[in-house]
Structure formats: structure tokens, C-alpha cells
Structure 1
């Protein structure tokens, strides 16, 4: 299984409207992905801080997408490179001034 993470990077003048994010942006992202992607699970992490120093803010929000196979990951990459994500990209400035960092990793049960 693969996990794709969209991490919103903190900044000194950070603005992030979680209410808007959950009310508008997440449903928009789900609607754009519907029928196009084989998503196993979606998660949102909020208020990420350093474990040993909770005053150190790591991210206001991380959006996690779980995909079953390498093929699903490649489909996701093509989707992200195409025009299907234009509405989501246009919506980002409405709830945050943070830059996004995308990463992917393989997830294994232990």
C-alpha cells in the first residue's frame, strides 16, 4: 500500500481556515477524485507538532491518501498532473497561505 501526503508547510504569517478546509475543500477533492482514483482511505492530520517540543509547529494540516497498488499510485500521479485538479488548486488560496509539499511512501504492516 502507498500513502501520499500533502503537507501544508508552516510559515511565520500562517493562515489556515480548518472550518473552510473541511466544509469546502475536502468535499471538492473527494468529488474531483470520484470515479477517477482507487482510494483505499483518506485521513487528515491537524495541529502537527514536535513530540518532545509541542511548541514547535510542524504543520497545520496534512492530507493523507492511501492507495493499494503501484498502478493506483501512477494513476494518481497522472491525475495530479492533469486538468482534473485545477478546481482544487484554485481553491487553496481561499483557506491558506501555506505552500504544499507532496510526498509518497510505501506503507507496510508490522
Structure 2
């Protein structure tokens, strides 16, 4: 599984409209990327950060894809232009930082409920 992470950094007096992002942009992205095969989209609105006066990012969005090739093809698809062009409606600092990662999950052992 591939995780694509989009990060919206705080930079100076940059505007980030959380209500617009959650109410319009995320549903738009879910429709467009859903048609291209994304498995799941998670959004984190950052409210605090350890050892900082304020968080260094406004939000982090994680998308989950079956393969790196599928994710790259989706981001190159012409239909994604409508998602990109909507970003100026909620964020003033240009495109988000995007990174592709492999996903590894550590299972937490559970105690036997019968003991």
C-alpha cells in the first residue's frame, strides 16, 4: 500500500480556510481521486504541536493507494486539475508539499480476553 501525504505548511501570514477545506475541497478531492482508485482519504487539522509555539502546518491529508504507479498516474490525470485549481480558495502559499511512502503497520498484541 502507498500513502500519499499532502502537507499545508504555515508560512508567515498565510491564510488557510479550514471550513472551506473541509466543506468543499476535501469532498471535491474525494470525488475526483475516488474515480481514480484512491482507497481512503484522511484529513488531520493540526491544533497543537510539541515543543513549538504554534504548529508548523495547518493540515495534513493522507491518501491510500494500491500502488505507487496508481498514485502517480492519478496525480498526473487531467481531472485532478480541478482539485489543484481549487486550492487558492483556501490556501495562499501555493501547492502543498506532497510525498509518497510505503505503509507499514505494527499490530499491537491484545491480551486474551478469556484470561
Which band: TM-score by shorter chain?
Answer: 0.7 to 0.9
Match of 2:25 in 1: 25
Matched, 1:78 2:73: yes
> Cα distance, 1:56 vs. partner?
3.9
- Higher alpha-carbon Rg: 2
Match of 2:63 in 1: 65
Instruction: Give CA-to-partner distance per residue, 1:26-73, whole Å, 9 cap, x none.
Output: 11001112232141x21111126542x141422100110122x33xx2
> Cα distance, 1:13 vs. partner?
1.2
Instruction: Give CA-to-partner distance per residue, 1:62-100, whole Å, 9 cap, x none.
Output: 110122x33xx2112112112111111110000111341
Moved segments of 4+, more than 3 Å: none
SS at 1:57 equivalent: coil
> Cα distance, 1:106 vs. partner?
1.3
TM-score, reference length from structure 1: 0.84
Match of 1:95 in 2: 90
Using the alignment, how far apart are the partners of 1:25 and 1:102 within structure 2?
16
TM-score, reference length from structure 2: 0.81
Q: Is the 8 A contact 2:8 2:97 kept in 1?
A: yes
Using the alignment, how far apart are the partners of 1:82 and 1:66 within structure 2?
17
Q: How many residues align?
A: 105
Gaps of 5+ in 1: none
Using the alignment, how far apart are the partners of 1:89 and 1:106 within structure 2?
24
Match of 2:9 in 1: 9
